[in-house]
Structure 1
Amino acid sequence: MDNSLPPRLRSVPTETKLVIGLVSGAELVNHMYLVLFPPILGVLASDFEVSLFLLGLAMGAQGVTNTVFQLPFGYLSDNYSRTLTLGLSLGFGTLGVFIVAVAPSYPVLVAGQLLLGLGVAGHHPTHFPLLSEATPPELRGRAFSMRGFAGNIGFAIPPAFITAAIGLGGLSWRHAVGLIGIAGAVYTIVTLFVFVRYVGPGVTRPDRDDTTDTHTTRPLSQRILAELRSLAAAPAILALTFLAFIAAMSGWGVTTYTVILLTDGYGVGLDTANLTLTAMFLAGAVMVLVGGDLADRLEPGPVIVATFAVVGLLVTLFGSLAIPPVFAIVVALLIGGIRSLAGPARSKLTDSFSGRQALGMNFATITVGTMVGGALAPALFGALIDYVAIQVAFFAIAGFTFLALFVTVAIVYSYDESTSSEGVSTD
């Protein structure tokens, strides 16, 4: 047997498997919440009598609260309780979904998205520290990929489920969204019970070694300033945050407007376009597992660079409208699969640059970049579609993908293992 290979999941403790499974399930729920709008953008525009630009702003609204509350949730995760952080995240997100389902007007729809974003904000600052604490270093790429696999399945569910629900007599998009919220509520209750009952404090409590706990004795304003100063002194984390922003602009541009491109640009039927979006996420779910294996076997940098290079070329071809519709669907599936290869490598790179007592804050900081990109992308590319042309929007998405490639090269060139364990100080 080759002892250099990472251990298989069956060889690790039961608690590790439990944490990976629960966190992965939470990510599935989280991602279901994030893609409620793309399958029904046309229906929402008609029901609420608003433009794609305004719906893009509504989607961006969840990115605003998501961004604002990343660091508070990161601080809560690193200093108090990861179980509490996870519970608050799932609870607020589920409540936001229910508000979206019953929204009588556009402002209420936006309010639901704002609350949904508040819930989503706590996931990254909690998920990655839980996985990192519960999993040995040589297996973390695969652990991150299991979470990514579940997240892609979560992305894949709403397009197919909502399409099927609307196709049934007497059901509407509101019923479908409400059922998704009910599933999330049940999962929240089960997950919190299992964490409290079966997961030890070594995983769920902050990794702190100071007995005096000066973080609680200093005034809150001093603690906040200390956290921000530490962030400013962590250049690799800030660089990865910028990369996350660029990658999110590209990723959310594709996710949000693939259905519109297929229907309006290629003349594909709405049902087929939504199923294509679902298939893209399913392809991503498979490929993220491959990405996890690559992240444990290879250096993260080359995996990320190669992924962005291929995806950039595919998005350019997809947006050109120069290929037959059937080929466009194939290209969309390739984009959905290949773009997922980089996820575990990026997460492992962040983990390697982070101090163990700053995992929540560092992943929260990088997620701020992701959320800012997620907030801006729908409105920006929606405006390009509304006022310029859909091809221009997808060429812009490809441009962000290639920019992410160059930023990754700069990070790999500028930082190496000597930057490991930087990040937010807990002194």
Structure 2
Amino acid sequence: MAGKAVGNILRLPREIVITVGLISGSQFVNHMYLVLLPPILTILVGEFEVSLALLGIALGVQALTNTAFQLPFGYLADHYDRTIALGLSSFLGAIGVLIVAVSPSFRWLVVGQAIIGIGVAGHHPAHYPLLTDATPESIRGRAFSVYNFGGMLGFAAPPIIITAIITLPGLTWRHAIGALGFVGVAYAVIITAVFSRTLGRDITEPNVTDTGRSGEFLDRIRTELRTLVAGSEILVLALLALIASTANWALSSYTVVFLTEIYEIPLEQANLTLTGLFLTGSVGVLAGGSLTDRFSPTPVMFVSFIGLTVLVSVIATSAAPAIVAIGLLLVIGAVRSLEGPARDILTERLSADGTVGKSFAVVTIGLMLGGTIAPPMFGYLIDQFGVQEAFFVIAAVAAIATAVTVTMALRIDAISELTPIPRD
């Protein structure tokens, strides 16, 4: 599946290959930043002498600043230059990672997380317009799936890299996080330089030619808000993204805690399971892209959410043996990732002319609000009631996402109006 999707992209014109390849690599780096702490939460509890709920707040702060800067970066990408938006966000994210690596206290850890969030905020508003303008509609679902494949590999990398580094004599989690930060700096230099030199203005130029500089600032804000409210389908999609993201981030943040506490699995093996969950997710996004190209987006999303609901419910009972629970988590990784390319295609098709960057920014706000809410909320639930009970709540949130998907499909008449684009 992965080889076929990547092969299809590699046979395309050079500019498309460069754009899809480097943006997928950027998504890899970007997603590494989002899961720096879950593999070491139990270590940080002891080092900084804080509760799991407080560490959940640190995770949520990153998502909060990410959310707050989505629209500013979306405006920059839509009205000025996408390469500038991407380069600026890439450097800021890497700086935040390095601050986390050297943080002398919990407060500095939170500062680093906040800066990471600001940096990560610029990626989706720049990535999606670049991908949309660089690829023909007939292969866009597969391009999005390759892009999301890179993101899922990025999620998978930190648990195994951090585990490998901290097991070496004399090295700690700080060395591991620092190494990832330096990788981020190097990639920020590469992608900014290559895009500045090789991509044409038809790909990097703004969607909106009139920047509105002559208008008053408040008038421009009111115009932007009216545009967003008019796109009610995008707001519904953002709500769905928020609900789904809450379930997914809770699962990603506390899978290691669940396995170590309920099944008493060693930390190294639990982190390998988390990596496996993301790796199977990378296969899921490729399958999701192909299914979305063949069918319409909403059925793919429905299958993804109903599968997540059922499987997490089974795991939450802890009735299955440890090896079966690990296997189910790997299946969940693939099932929950089917909806990513479908959601991306739905966002692009529902966007009005000149609002692709802002539309993806709005949907990403939903995603990141889920990332803001889930870690502290579920950290508190675990502290107060237990990790098993928290996983039942994750299943309930996934069930709500399923219901919203059905409602949305009826609202936009997805079967008749959002049919797949015929392939050449």
TM-score (norm 2): 0.95
Residue matched to 1:404: 401
CA distance in structure 1 between the aligned counterparts of 2:73 and 2:265, rounded to whole angstroms: 42
Alpha-carbon contact 1:267-1:325 (below 8 Å) kept: no
Unpaired segments ≥5 residues, structure 1: 421-427
Amino acid at match of 2:252: T
Coordinate RMSD, CA, aligned:
1.5
CA distance in structure 2 between the aligned counterparts of 1:369 and 1:293, rounded to whole angstroms: 25
Amino acid at match of 2:333: G
Residue matched to 2:112: 112
Residue matched to 1:91: 91
After TM superposition, give the deviation of residue 389 of structure 1 in Å.
1.7
Alignment map for 1:156-235 (pairs within 5 Å): 156-208=156-208, 210=209, 213=210, 215-235=212-232
SS in 2 for 1:276: helix
Amino acid at match of 1:138: S
Alignment map for 1:377-388 (pairs within 5 Å): 377-388=374-385
CA distance in structure 1 between the aligned counterparts of 2:225 and 2:256, rounded to whole angstroms: 40
Unpaired segments ≥5 residues, structure 2: 419-424
CA distance in structure 2 between the aligned counterparts of 1:88 and 1:399, rounded to whole angstroms: 38
Alignment map for 1:410-425 (pairs within 5 Å): 410-416=407-413
Residue matched to 1:287: 284
Amino acid at match of 2:372: A
SS in 2 for 1:218: coil
After TM superposition, give the deviation of residue 194 of structure 1 in Å.
0.4
SS in 2 for 1:258: helix
Alpha-carbon contact 1:241-1:370 (below 8 Å) kept: yes
Residue matched to 2:309: 312
Alpha-carbon contact 1:34-1:155 (below 8 Å) kept: yes
Amino acid at match of 1:90: S
Residue matched to 1:153: 153
CA distance in structure 2 between the aligned counterparts of 1:35 and 1:149, rounded to whole angstroms: 16
Q: For residues 73-100 of structure 1, what are the alpha-carbon distances to aligned partners after superposition, in whole Å with 9 as ceiling and x for unaligned?
A: 1111100000000011111100100000
Alpha-carbon contact 1:315-1:398 (below 8 Å) kept: yes
Amino acid at match of 1:65: T
Amino acid at match of 2:27: E
Residue 349 (structure 2) pairs with residue 352 (structure 1)? yes
Q: For residues 293-341 of structure 1, what are the alpha-carbon distances to aligned partners after superposition, in whole Å with 9 as ceiling and x for unaligned?
A: 1111111110100111111100111111111111110011011111111
CA distance in structure 2 between the aligned counterparts of 1:133 and 1:357, rounded to whole angstroms: 12
Residue matched to 2:30: 30
Residue matched to 1:334: 331
Residue 371 (structure 2) pairs with residue 390 (structure 1)? no
Alpha-carbon contact 2:246-2:374 (below 8 Å) kept: yes
CA distance in structure 2 between the aligned counterparts of 1:250 and 1:396, rounded to whole angstroms: 8
Residue matched to 2:45: 45
Q: For residues 51-73 of structure 1, what are the alpha-carbon distances to aligned partners after superposition, in whole Å with 9 as ceiling and x for unaligned?
A: 00000000100111111111111
Residue matched to 2:422: none
Alpha-carbon contact 1:236-1:419 (below 8 Å) kept: no
CA distance in structure 2 between the aligned counterparts of 1:214 and 1:24, rounded to whole angstroms: 29
SS in 2 for 1:215: coil
After TM superposition, give the deviation of residue 123 of structure 1 in Å.
0.9
TM-score (norm 1): 0.94
Q: For residues 247-267 of structure 1, what are the alpha-carbon distances to aligned partners after superposition, in whole Å with 9 as ceiling and x for unaligned?
A: 100100110000000000111
Amino acid at match of 2:141: G
Alpha-carbon contact 1:353-1:419 (below 8 Å) kept: no
Amino acid at match of 2:14: T
SS in 2 for 1:255: helix
CA distance in structure 2 between the aligned counterparts of 1:134 and 1:12, rounded to whole angstroms: 11
After TM superposition, give the deviation of residue 214 of structure 1 in Å.
5.6
SS in 1 for 2:363: helix
Residue matched to 1:131: 131
Alignment map for 1:196-275 (pairs within 5 Å): 196-208=196-208, 210=209, 213=210, 215-275=212-272
Alignment map for 1:48-59 (pairs within 5 Å): 48-59=48-59
After TM superposition, give the deviation of residue 8 of structure 1 in Å.
3.0
Alpha-carbon contact 1:74-1:361 (below 8 Å) kept: yes
Alpha-carbon contact 2:231-2:351 (below 8 Å) kept: no
CA distance in structure 2 between the aligned counterparts of 1:399 and 1:306, rounded to whole angstroms: 16
CA distance in structure 2 between the aligned counterparts of 1:76 and 1:319, rounded to whole angstroms: 43
Identity within the alignment, %: 49
Q: For residues 185-237 of structure 1, what are the alpha-carbon distances to aligned partners after superposition, in whole Å with 9 as ceiling and x for unaligned?
A: 101101011000111111111123x5xx2622212221111101111111100
CA distance in structure 1 between the aligned counterparts of 2:28 and 2:319, rounded to whole angstroms: 35
Indicate how the Cα distance of structure 1 residues 105 and 214 shifts in structure 2: closer, same or farther if over 3 A, else same: closer
Amino acid at match of 1:71: L
After TM superposition, give the deviation of residue 13 of structure 1 in Å.
1.6
SS in 1 for 2:67: helix
SS in 1 for 2:144: helix
What is the number of residues matched between the two proteins? Answer: 412
Q: For residues 379-400 of structure 1, what are the alpha-carbon distances to aligned partners after superposition, in whole Å with 9 as ceiling and x for unaligned?
A: 1111110001212100111111
Amino acid at match of 1:82: R
